[in-house]
Every structure is written in structure tokens, then in C-alpha cells.
Copies of this chain bind each other. A is one copy, B any other.
Amino acid sequence: MLIKRFYDDKLAQASYMVGCQATGDAVVIDPHRDADFYVDAAEEEGMRITAVTETHIHADYASGTRELAKKTGATMYLSDEGGPGWEYEFAEEDGATLVRDGDGFEIGNIRFRIMHTPGHTPEHICFEVTDGAASDKPMGIFTGDFIFVGDVGRPDLLEKAAGVEGTMEAGARQLYKSLERVRNMPDYLQIWPGHGAGSACGKALGAVPQTTLGYEKVVNWAFACETEDDFVHSVLQDQPEPPVYFAKMKAGNRDGWGVLGHLPTPDHLPADRLEEVIATGAPVVDLRRRTAFQGGHIPGTLSIPFNRSFTNWAGWLLPYDKPIYLLAEGGEQEAVSAARDLAFIGLDNVAGYFGVGAFNAWVESGKVLESAPSIGPEEAQRRLDAGEVHLLDVRGTAEWNEGHIPGAHHCHLGTLTDNLDSCPSDKPIVVACRTGARSAIGQSLLLKHGFDNVINLEGGWVGWRQAGLPVSTE
């Protein structure tokens, strides 16, 4: 038996390949959209992907189940437990095998048993796995977004992201029942979850790749809740805002994305076309780290640094209906990599990229790379007190509620584009977040939209507190 875990840092997402070495057959669970990635991995192990499945209709990334099945000719196993609104639209057309609680399938000597575990979503299933060659006892469970390491999948996404009112609490209660069901299973079972630290699908995920059922029973807050109501209350509390693109993902994953064949390969565009592209209003995403952007950037570009938060902020800020351009100092390799990450959340419309030459051409043509200024907390305080600046806090609501700078205005970074009206055009705007990273994205967004005096609060809320400046919780 072979188990391989594949972890995508930016999605904080885990997919798995489970194969039987006796027959060479393998199943992939919860694949992202880069089908070649799995084909390569299978080849490296001398395996043949003969089945593809997923735990649920994901909200946070574009499922690759269909893509991979098309490419490999593998059988698709999809949940039939969702009921109206949660049925895979493409299942019939593609000849997928629909599965329900108690059903099973086999990969060589390995047996998979379906467990319906609603809560995070109505159709959510888990896969209990038994290595038939070794024993008839189960070895573990692929839990998707049901049980994480130290947490459980949030049941409020459906309502918040997809706008289906009144489902949060029902989901929470279903989730409690699903937990009750597994509580009686053996402690020694391995738990292979669908997400790790940083995912918006749970609130307290650690960077430990997997866990055991027995350990979770001991340490996971969800198992520790004494009553269903306690649990429901806790699980719905303080969940961060789900990114706006989640609704898009839900629909795409249910209805089926078009088959790509190959991830999009962005075209390298001549440096001298950059100005014309910016003039169209299409987003040109500068992938460099924020200080590089602040030190000097091409006016009109948007800063979304290509780090672990890239996919998240791209999903919040980039349009699904316009061409997207990348500004990749690292050249083709970086651009291809970023385009792959965008395709992972369905942003397939990357129209091309500009390379390092765009910066050089800018400078050589006698234009100046604009800097984006920042100030420290003391100076911010002074200017705020003097009424010279408008202070904009772009953190999440929960963070804001925990404490903020007195006199600040609040607008979550992800919704800033829709709330530009609330920003003054006659006064410098100081943008703040927790440490200065998100606010730098906000700064570039405001600059791009014509606000010409925008300043980043270096160090953010953390720096503000370290400087011992006044705080408010109202």
C-alpha cells in the first residue's frame, strides 16, 4: 500500500494518492486542478490512476476531479448525499459513480468505505480505508473538511459565502451529529484531513499534517464540547469572513469546470505594451514582495505579493470577467507558477505577463518608478491627532472588534474595491492592518484607483501596541 500526501501551501490544501502496489492501481482524493501534477506523481511511483474522488463540493478552490478523470480515464466517485442544490451537475454526463453512506469501492487490495458526514456541507463524505493485504481492520479516514488537526470544518460557509440563509445553524447541528458518530470508532485510526494551517475552511488549523482519532478526542475543542448547543455556539463564533470567490467556487465545483487539458501558460508580453494595458483598467498584478513595490513600482499596478497569501488575496481582489496581467520580476517560471495558482481558484483568464524588462524599460525611457511611502506608529498618531489624515483599518471584523486605533475607519481589505466612495480624496489616507502586509496591498489598491496620497502604517496594529499608543474596542 502506498499513501502520498500533496500539500499546496497557498491553498493550505491537502490531496492524497492511495495506491495498491500489487496491482498498480491508485485513487486520488480531493485533487486540485493541475492534473499533470498527479499524473507525474503516479508515474514516479509506477502507479496508474484508475479512480478519482473528492470529499465534498469545495468552496475554497476549483476541484480537479473532473479534469483528472478526463485525462486519465479514471472512474469518478462523487457524493450522492447532498440533496437538492448539492448534486453534481456533471455526474451523469461524465458517467461518474454516485456513492452514498455505506457504499464502498476497491483499489487493488485496498477497500474504501463511504461515510456521510454532513455539516461543513450537506453532501460531505469521508473515506474509511482498510489495507486488505495487511488486515481487515481499518487504518484511517480521509476526513476532507470534516475533522482537521485540532479543529473541524466550519458550517457557516454555505450561508456566508453562497448566501443560502438559515443554513449555518442547521449545518452546525449536522456537524455535531457527524462527530458523535465517529466518536465511537477506534482511537488508533489515522485522520488525513483536507486542509492545514492557513485555510479559511477552519479557524485554528496547525501545521501538523495529520492526526489520530484518539488524539483528537483528547485535544480537539469540538470533541470537548459538552452539549450540542455549546458546540453550535462555539463553531459559529469568530469565523473569519469567507473570501468572495468562495461562492464562485461552489457553483463551479458543483456544475463542473471546463476541462483545461493543460494549465494556462501565460504569454510573455513586450515591455513597451505595459502602459497601454494599464490604461485599459485591467489589473496588472505586481508579484514582488511589498517593500520592493514600496521602493519603486510602475504606477497603476496592483501589489499582491507572491507569497502564501497570494491565492487568498487574488481571490478577493481579482475579477473573474476581465483579463488579468502579471508583472513577474522572476520571469516565465514565476509567471507560470502564479498563473497555476490563479487557475486553482478558477481565475483562468491570465492574458499574459510582463517580465523584469518592464521595470528596466520604464526606467530607461526616463520615467521614474513611484515609491509608496510608509510611516511608523508615532508619526501616524501625531498626524491622526492633528486631523491631517484618514486612518483606514483593513483587517477582518473579528480582529477589529478585538481592538483598534481610536479614530480609525474600518473596511475589510477584500471589500475595499466596492467601498472606495467612503475614502476621502482630499486627505492623505493611512492604511493599517495587523503587521503592514495587508495594508500594503490596500495601499496599492487605493493608488491604482486614483488616490494619490496613500501611506502604509509600518508595523500595523502590532507595532501600534508595542509603541504603547491608545487603543479602542468600540
Contacts and interface: CB of A to CB of B under 8 A. Distances in A.
Contact of A2 (B5, B186, B208, B435): B208
Contact of A215 (B2, B49, B139, B329): B139
Contact of A356 (B43, B73, B218): B43
Contacts of A213: 188
Interface stretch (A157-165, A361-369, A425-433): A361-369
A458 B150 CA distance: 52
A43 B294 contact: no
Given A292-B292, A355-B43, A5 B269 contact: no
A190 interface: yes
A417 interface: no
Given A295-B371, A360-B43, A371-B294, A262 B267 contact: yes
Interface stretch (A100-108, A242-250, A270-278): A270-278
A297 B296 CA distance: 13
A381 interface: no
A294 to B, nearest CB: 4
A152 to B, nearest CB: 15
* Chain A residues touching B, majority SS: mixed
B207 A355 contact: no
Contacts of A270: 39, 42-43, 48-49, 71-73
Contact of A291 (B36, B49, B292): B292
A15 to B, nearest CB: 15
Nearest to A217: B188
Contacts of A262: 265-267
A397 B274 CA distance: 37
A367 to B, nearest CB: 10
Nearest to A437: B363
A190 B212 contact: yes
Contacts of A131: 206, 208, 219
A46 B198 CA distance: 14
Contacts of A268: 36, 39-40
A443 to B, nearest CB: 12
A192 to B, nearest CB: 10
A49 to B, nearest CB: 7
Contact of A357 (B44, B135, B371): B44
Interface range, A side? 35 or more
B3 A207 contact: yes
Interface in A272-322: 272-273, 288-297
Contact of A368 (B49, B187, B211, B459): B459
A236 to B, nearest CB: 22
Nearest to A359: B289
Interface in A94-127: none
A396 interface: no
Contacts of A371: 291, 294-295, 374
Nearest to A207: B2
A134 interface: yes
A270 B209 CA distance: 24
Interface string A207-233: 111111111011100000000000000
Nearest to A360: B46
A416 interface: no
- Ranked nearest first, the 6 interchain pairs of A and B with the lowest CB-CB distance are A295-B295, A188-B214, A43-B357, A291-B296, A292-B292, A2-B207
14 contacts: A1-B208, A24-B364, A24-B365, A43-B270, A45-B207, A46-B357, A71-B267, A134-B206, A134-B219, A188-B214, A189-B215, A210-B210, A292-B295, A366-B466
